Structure 1
């Protein structure tokens, strides 16, 4: 192999597999469906990598190796280690919980909230309600597991008129075919296909077909009147040069001439000819699908200026690349070594549990029908008669089994280290070997870095997804969604590692008592540690209404009674002078009747 024949690209970590080294079209021998004419040549290596990773996840890597000529691969033991790595990385990525957060919403409950805080809180409540209605947490689990395993995942949004909200669906990245212009420097493509094959159905008389869904950004089209003049659609108008434009509710100050068109059609595989790739299909042979209301999905104007599809990557792509990388990418050879060692361990354990025994001078029973000695079997309660010089030797393979087990542990440590999940993250670290929590934190350092990098790769994409959701609500004229720029919303992830809650509580108490931490920061630290605090601002108010010692110090420092009452959450005292009623006392009878009693009358008596 010369240097010119070494291929280094986004999928070269799988070059050690024969399935990726086939000339011209990789994967043809193992996956014959990849040889279909509609698949672009540039996407074959990517699709083959997706299929190989799925085989590892399903404990079928041995079957894939056997298809390329490795006859012994079918005997390989696969015990679910790749799937464990994927599930572990997924759990750390998602953390304990996920929340939709809109910037500024946390200040809505203040006595004097800043401008836009109340509106941000309303948008946050609506987005959280949408997330609950659309099972966003479940969709996120589906997409993120695909992203962690394959390196990529796809979200698709669509406006559902019956539900009056945007629907969210996830698709396999193997169906995703973005089209990039050669001179395009934009971050997002202007044309995207989702395409996959539909199998033949003899029961209903359906032949094998190819389905393709296309979103494409293009200029707004206008019809023609009876006189031949351009006639814009309802809600559109012509600009100064006669081009159709429209104003979108999220940017009411600017007229746009761009819209998104949706097409959804099917082609018979037998009609596809050489050169008919997914982007060059003959539309005259397409059968366009129809919507539930009868609308034909052939360049349907969605009346939005963006493609409602979000491509998610598991890692931050390298410069000039647009695809993510699987969590298994750098450890596949280690997983192969581990599977081979497990297979050897299974063979060694068989000879250890049922050892190979050599007999000398033994009297073996004979089979009268064949005249041959009966094969000796090692089993409990078996008795063999040996002569005077008889001998029995057993082959002890337990040392080899112990070595194989030690090698399995060594390989697992290497895999944990290379994947940055770490032995502590996989749960294989002996707790007695960690002398302190600080040492455990150092051991989890690579895992913290891995999770931070994975979340950073997703941060912008989830902001984009939530922006698309808001704009679809605006385009659908849903109640409660006013026109104007959409709010900045994001996904807030929960802690990915267990937190020392007792240590955090002690740190918070000392910091707040000594005046190093504010009460708001202290409550936020308790929330991050997992304490059941739902609203930080409300929790601060509850604490202040019972902080009488702090209120007394505030009164001594300011002498302002209104500030103290405000601190305790009490109503403002009235400024008028209160009227205090005096008790009415009945007059006492004189000791001896008459004016000469010598007792002066009281002032309140007549």
Structure 2
């Protein structure tokens, strides 16, 4: 029994790649309490302790602070370790690749607007696409994407929160630290189903200036059954909360709950609501709660999902509504979880891009530390004095320009350490190559390779093969989030009753990510020109292919119109084929000239006098036949 009681517990879960660190995993598989006090807070669920500790450890790697954490266990000597930013470089590189050169919201069918085959559906798609892109510019969406993607790459997870801002009259996007994100996942869920209840929770430190104790803030989104209407109220202690609105009682009927705007009762007595983005009534809505607790009030076995509501202090929004189960009038939780990798079956969380490379980074840190120490001995060489010195009691200090006077038979020997430094540098290069291979980032993608070694685009494409598979899998994990983001934006604009969105449907849209690898533009251009000349591809396909490799073409349809406006040879062929000036003018983007009117025939006066009307008509006829005769 004693043998098994002292055995180290082996924990294999989504965070077990950190088990090799004693600081992270003790004999019971739990993180060090001194290094990770946040993970051991009383309100943190036990299932999230290792996740929060892993987030802190990964953040330390990104900020060159692993030595500070290690000092909690190994003492102050651990702070002497060098960290030169290799993990941060890997995170930045992978983030830039997974984002691509540019990010654009597209709506299928919008590309057909403005063409000859324009339909009302295409015009609507083009209108929604324009509104979404204008919103993205106002909301600084590329910056929000960069914030979330960097967290997803570094920590394994990223989180968006979307909400309607009544003051700014637009949808807002906020990026949350995944360490604040606590979804309540059903035990029967396979991990891919989005939870019906999501908490964002974090501690607020004590504010002595404002006389505020340490507190816990929790924001909750809960998808639940539609209930009767509520309004601001207070409890017996004067604490603000929301209370059910009741009708005035009468002699015939007691007071009854009031239904919300647009709500109806079905035959079973359940409340239903028809949302503008749905064709059939829904029984569900999302409730928002924003509350704060004093940490001293959290006693007993409670966690983030079971906090005592009688101790909560509710916040108030800009419209003066108490955020205590406030009905948001929407049937979806506006939270988007972005996993860095495709989760394992039954898992909700992604995996950090640093997970499989951390041990190599530890070796790199050790090599950097050794190189720093070796460089000190190389710059200030070790000297050994042998033989007889003039003054055996003298202490010698080496420095530039120093002269040592020795006695008979004395000598000075220098210990050469530059070779050791060179070997350490070579070892560091080998470790960086190992890290790049493990992370599937070729040296050319990191910027440490020699581009001259690739004589063609095909060789470069082969070298980037591991990166292609890496980014392909990461973008697959983000595909659902890239579709949810514009979908939620459309729904929230409709829920906010913005006038520009009145009467518009919710159409499928997607956040498209640009190219992430360098392209042999000359080879692609030659390929496009050859295919176009052989009439194997259309002009539209050729233009879009050039857009894909980074040509400065903003709108393919406009570019095609400008090309056609100067294609006079094609216009001549079109005129010969159709014989229709209007079609040719439309092809060139111009207006066909008006056809000249044929002037009426005016008979010469002399001919009428001499020969009469018949002779004049005969003369005109001869003239039209080109006889050259003079009708006069």
Same structural fold, with TM-score higher than 0.5 when normalized by the shorter chain: yes
Q: Which residue of 2 is the match for residue 128 of structure 1?
A: 133
Is residue 2:233 matched to residue 1:214?
A: no
Q: Select 2:381's aligned residue among 351, 355, 358.
A: 355
CA distance in 1, matches of 2:425, 2:457: 29
CA distance in 2, matches of 1:69, 1:581: 110
Q: Which residue of 1 is the match for residue 370 of structure 2?
A: 344
Task: Summarize the alignment of residues 167-206 of structure 1 with structure 2, pairs less than 5 Å apart.
Answer: 167-184=172-189, 187-206=193-212
Q: Which residue of 2 is the match for residue 237 of structure 1?
A: 264
Q: Which residue of 2 is the match for residue 445 of structure 1?
A: 465
Q: Select 1:458's aligned residue among 478, 485, 488.
A: 478
- What's the RMSD between the two structures over aligned residues? 2.6
Further displaced range: 406-415 or 562-571: 562-571
Q: Which residue of 2 is the match for residue 19 of structure 1?
A: 23
Listed one character per residue, the Cα deviations across residues 427-464 of structure 1 (whole Å, up to 9, x for unaligned) are 11123433433222111111111112211211211211
Secondary structure of the corresponding residue to residue 484 of structure 2:
helix
Cα distance, 1:96 vs structure 2:
1.3
CA distance in 2, matches of 1:425, 1:128: 30
Listed one character per residue, the Cα deviations across residues 333-355 of structure 1 (whole Å, up to 9, x for unaligned) are 00000110111111111111211
Cα distance, 1:565 vs structure 2:
3.6
Secondary structure of the corresponding residue to residue 7 of structure 1:
coil
Q: Select 1:161's aligned residue among 154, 161, 166.
A: 166
Q: Which residue of 1 is the match for residue 237 of structure 2?
A: none
Secondary structure of the corresponding residue to residue 589 of structure 2:
coil
Secondary structure of the corresponding residue to residue 227 of structure 2:
coil
Contact 2:389 2:410 in 1 (8 A): no
Is residue 2:268 matched to residue 1:268?
A: no
CA distance in 1, matches of 2:578, 2:260: 67
Cα distance, 1:59 vs structure 2:
0.4
Listed one character per residue, the Cα deviations across residues 214-256 of structure 1 (whole Å, up to 9, x for unaligned) are 00011111154322334312221111222221110111x3111
Q: Select 1:373's aligned residue among 373, 381, 394.
A: 394
Further displaced range: 434-443 or 24-33: 24-33
Contact 1:108 1:118 in 2 (8 A): yes
CA distance in 2, matches of 1:360, 1:586: 139
Contact 2:163 2:171 in 1 (8 A): yes
CA distance in 1, matches of 2:288, 2:127: 32
Further displaced range: 353-362 or 128-137: 353-362
Further displaced range: 294-303 or 476-485: 476-485
CA distance in 2, matches of 1:248, 1:467: 14
CA distance in 2, matches of 1:582, 1:352: 110
Further displaced range: 427-436 or 494-503: 427-436
Contact 2:39 2:48 in 1 (8 A): no
Contact 1:200 1:208 in 2 (8 A): yes
Q: Select 2:33's aligned residue among 28, 32, 42.
A: 28
Cα distance, 1:577 vs structure 2:
6.5
Q: Which residue of 1 is the match for residue 624 of structure 2?
A: none
Secondary structure of the corresponding residue to residue 385 of structure 2:
strand
Listed one character per residue, the Cα deviations across residues 87-136 of structure 1 (whole Å, up to 9, x for unaligned) are 11111111211111111111112122134111111111111111111111
Q: Which residue of 2 is the match for residue 46 of structure 1?
A: 51
Contact 1:156 1:170 in 2 (8 A): yes
CA distance in 2, matches of 1:182, 1:570: 66
Contact 1:250 1:483 in 2 (8 A): no
Alpha-carbon distance change, 391 to 585 in structure 1, aligned in 2, over 3 angstroms: farther
Q: Select 2:154's aligned residue among 149, 154, 172.
A: 149
Secondary structure of the corresponding residue to residue 387 of structure 2:
strand
Contact 2:390 2:407 in 1 (8 A): no
Alpha-carbon distance change, 584 to 148 in structure 1, aligned in 2, over 3 angstroms: farther
Task: Summarize the alignment of residues 258-337 of structure 1 with structure 2, pairs less than 5 Å apart.
Answer: 258-337=284-363
Contact 1:362 1:385 in 2 (8 A): no
Contact 1:310 1:461 in 2 (8 A): yes
Q: Which residue of 1 is the match for residue 14 of structure 2?
A: 10
Contact 2:581 2:592 in 1 (8 A): no
Gaps of 5+ in 1: 367-371, 588-594
Secondary structure of the corresponding residue to residue 156 of structure 1:
strand
Q: Which residue of 2 is the match for residue 55 of structure 1?
A: 60
CA distance in 2, matches of 1:201, 1:440: 57
Further displaced range: 82-91 or 17-26: 17-26
Cα distance, 1:504 vs structure 2:
2.1
Q: Select 1:78's aligned residue among 69, 73, 83.
A: 83
Length, aligned pairs only = 587
Secondary structure of the corresponding residue to residue 518 of structure 2:
coil
Q: Which residue of 1 is the match for residue 437 of structure 2?
A: 417
**TM-score (norm: length of structure 1):** 0.91
Secondary structure of the corresponding residue to residue 177 of structure 1:
strand
Is residue 2:557 matched to residue 1:537?
A: yes
Is residue 2:515 matched to residue 1:495?
A: yes
CA distance in 1, matches of 2:602, 2:361: 93
Cα distance, 1:501 vs structure 2:
2.1
Q: Which residue of 1 is the match for residue 598 of structure 2?
A: 579
CA distance in 2, matches of 1:177, 1:147: 16
Alpha-carbon distance change, 365 to 297 in structure 1, aligned in 2, over 3 angstroms: farther
Listed one character per residue, the Cα deviations across residues 308-339 of structure 1 (whole Å, up to 9, x for unaligned) are 11111111111111101111010000000011
Structure 1 runs (4+) greater than 4 angstroms displaced? 1-4, 555-563, 580-587, 600-606
CA distance in 2, matches of 1:67, 1:524: 56
Secondary structure of the corresponding residue to residue 320 of structure 1:
coil
Further displaced range: 356-365 or 76-85: 356-365
Cα distance, 1:563 vs structure 2:
4.2
